[in-house]
């Protein structure tokens, strides 16, 4: 159930309970669709809801659409306007999760991408933490990350989340908090819904874009914050599984997961088993940045939903 009054669907704002699709819908039957996950953070001091990196999310969304041969009749600016209008209509003044979805909307049998009708919707609902942000125990998954030539991970394709679900359930049913997936070659790829960073010999390291990862917007945010605020360059390279066992620090990051330090991998403590200094610094920075508390990043990365409250005259 969507805990909001309205959704945006095929060009209209409609009551959320009317947002239904037929059981025969192609995107439902075959997973032929893509989506974004975007967070908005309520800042009580500013009485403002800041949506984090909205434009970048829609840029990636349109790339996913292109890969899936989905053509939307909207520009990025229109998509942004629909999104802001939806949140305003819902009068949301809390942390929210926005999910734009584009999918093959035909009610037809036959698996393919071409020659089908493209549908679009956005939902916006209140959200809390997706996973613990104080120290995770991760397990390396026996499920391999889907390959670029099978279902491209760089597109956020609905059907590809079955791969994530296999890994996440296996990890949790084996007593871990989260999975770390490897590529078919056995290199570290990413978590079930997060990118991964390691601190190795004082350097930040993250799997390269060619390691079947989703090119995370939080990943890019971390690289930029680390460079600008901590003076640390991130190396994007192949990462061996056993580097996970000897890294000084590890963290996962993503819109849903936010910033989640990892303190154990496969029953081995990461570093001394406590959250390390680089992770702590980046986590604190991230939580301030997304709430619009650092003006420089607020102007560049946060979209205000509501008109600013006028300052009281002194």
Ligand X SMILES: Cc1ncc(COP(=O)(O)O)c(C=O)c1O
Interface residue list for ligand X (CB under 6 A): 37, 164, 190, 193-195, 214, 216-219, 254-256
Other Cβ atoms less than 10 A from the Cβ of 228: the count is 12
- Nearest to ligand X of 217, 290 (CB atom): 217
Catalytic residue among 66, 71, 104, 156: 156
Angle in degrees, 0-180, between the axes of helices 54-67 and 217-230, rounded to the nearest 10 = 140
CB of 33 to ligand X, least distance (A): 14
DSSP string, 112-147: -STT--EEEEEEEEE---SS-SS-EEEEEEEEEPPP
Among residues 36 and 106, whose Cβ is nearest to ligand X? Answer: 36
In angstroms, the CA 200 to CA 237 distance is: 12
Residue that is written with structure tokens 């963290």 in the block: 251
Distance CA 168, CA 172 (A): 6
Of 191 and 276, the one with the shorter C-beta distance to ligand X is 191
Quote the tokens at residue 128: 């809390």
Least distance between ligand X and beta carbon 12 (Å): 27
Catalytic status, residue 274: no
CB-CB contact of 96 with 126 (8 Å): yes
Closest distance between ligand X and the C-beta of residue 22, in Å? Answer: 27
> Could you tell me the smallest distance in angstroms from the CB atom of residue 145 to ligand X?
8
Nearer to ligand X, 9 or 257 (CB): 257
Catalytic residues: 156
């Amino acid at each position: 159930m969507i805990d909001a009054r309205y959704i945006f669907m095929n060009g209209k704002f409609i009551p959320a309970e009317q947002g239904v699709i037929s059981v025969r819908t192609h995107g439902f039957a075959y997973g032929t669709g893509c989506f974004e996950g975007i967070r908005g953070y309520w800042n009580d001091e500013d009485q403002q809801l800041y949506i984090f990196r909205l434009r970048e999310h829609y840029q990636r969304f349109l790339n996913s659409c292109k890969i899936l041969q989905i053509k939307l009749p909207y520009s990025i600016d229109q998509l942004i306007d629909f999104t802001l209008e939806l949140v305003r209509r819902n009068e949301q003044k809390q942390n929210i999760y926005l999910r734009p979805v584009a999918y093959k909307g035909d009610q037809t049998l036959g698996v393919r991408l071409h020659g089908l009708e493209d549908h679009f919707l956005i939902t916006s609902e209140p959200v809390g933490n997706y996973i613990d942000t104080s120290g995770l125990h991760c397990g390396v998954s026996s499920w391999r990350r889907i390959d670029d030539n099978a279902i491209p991970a760089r597109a956020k394709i609905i059907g590809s989340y079955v791969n994530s679900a296999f890994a996440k359930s296996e990890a949790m049913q084996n007593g871990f908090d989260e999975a770390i997936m490897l590529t078919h070659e056995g290199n570290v790829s990413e978590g079930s819904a997060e990118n991964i960073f390691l601190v190795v010999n004082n350097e930040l390291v993250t799997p390269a874009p060619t390691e079947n990862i989703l090119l995370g917007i939080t990943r890019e945010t971390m690289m930029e914050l680390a460079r600008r605020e901590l003076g640390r360059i991130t190396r994007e390279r192949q990462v061996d599984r056993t580097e996970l066992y000897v890294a000084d620090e590890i963290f996962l990051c993503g819109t849903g997961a936010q910033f989640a330090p990892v303190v154990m991998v496969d029953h081995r403590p990461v570093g001394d088993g406590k959250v390390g200094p680089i992770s702590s610094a980046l986590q604190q920075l991230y939580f301030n940045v997304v709430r619009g508390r650092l003006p420089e990043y607020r102007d560049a990365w946060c979209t205000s939903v509501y008109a600013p409250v006028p300052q009281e005259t002194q």
